[in-house]
Amino acid sequence: MTKNKNIFLILAILFTVVFCIWATVRIVSWVNFNLNCEAYLKRAADANTVELAKGELAKALDYAEKNNLTEGIVSIFLKNPANDIGFWYTNIKSAYDELDNLPDDASALEKTNVLMKLRESLTDRDDNGGTKVIYPMGIAIYPDNVMYFWWCLLSVVFACGFWILFGVAVGIKVKVK
């Protein structure tokens, strides 16, 4: 087995690099979604005027439509309603339509009520008492969620396995107390 230690080391490093690439792609995908959709939803929720909210929602909707984030489920195993992209998209679209259909001569009270409803539709409280934008977790990598799951699982399993085989091949002993 010691003659295979170089092969085990190369494969361990290879699968570790594959996992690091997975992590980098996931982070880049999340940042992309955050900057091009989530941030605009937050700004729409924080807007003080109907026009401002409508403009920010339009940007978020444009991103969602260009990236096919209009229907589907981000879950792989359990079909949790919180992961329903169709509901999320329809909710945002109907909020935009409500802003768009608000008459120009609407009273300040009507505008305020629509903006408050918008804020409650787009945001929720997080565990720390702050405000967070509501969206299905994992939406940043949709529709490739299954591929990302297998990419992560296989790269971690093979990396760990080859690191263990390399450790055995070079004679690393682990003391268990």
Residue with tokens 């900057």: 35
Confidence of residue 64 (pLDDT cuts 50, 70, 90): very high
Tell me: the pLDDT tens digits for 139-156? Answer: 999 999 999 999 999 999
Chain length of the chain: 177
Q: To the nearest whole number, what is the mean pLDDT of the chain?
A: 93
Can you state the percent helix, strand and coil of the chain, rounding each to 5?
Answer: 70, 5, 25
pLDDT recorded at residue 172 = 75
State the greatest distance between any 2 C-alpha atoms of the chain, in Å, as a whole number.
82
Confidence of residue 174 (pLDDT cuts 50, 70, 90): low
Kindly state the tokens that stand for 79.
């079909």
Tell me: the pLDDT tens digits for 18-48? Answer: 999 999 999 999 999 999 999 999 999 999 9
Q: What is the dihedral of CA 124, 152, 75, 143, to 10 degrees?
A: 90
pTM of the model: 0.86
Domain extent listing, the chain: 2-169
The answer to whether 2 and 167 have CB atoms below 8 angstroms apart is: no
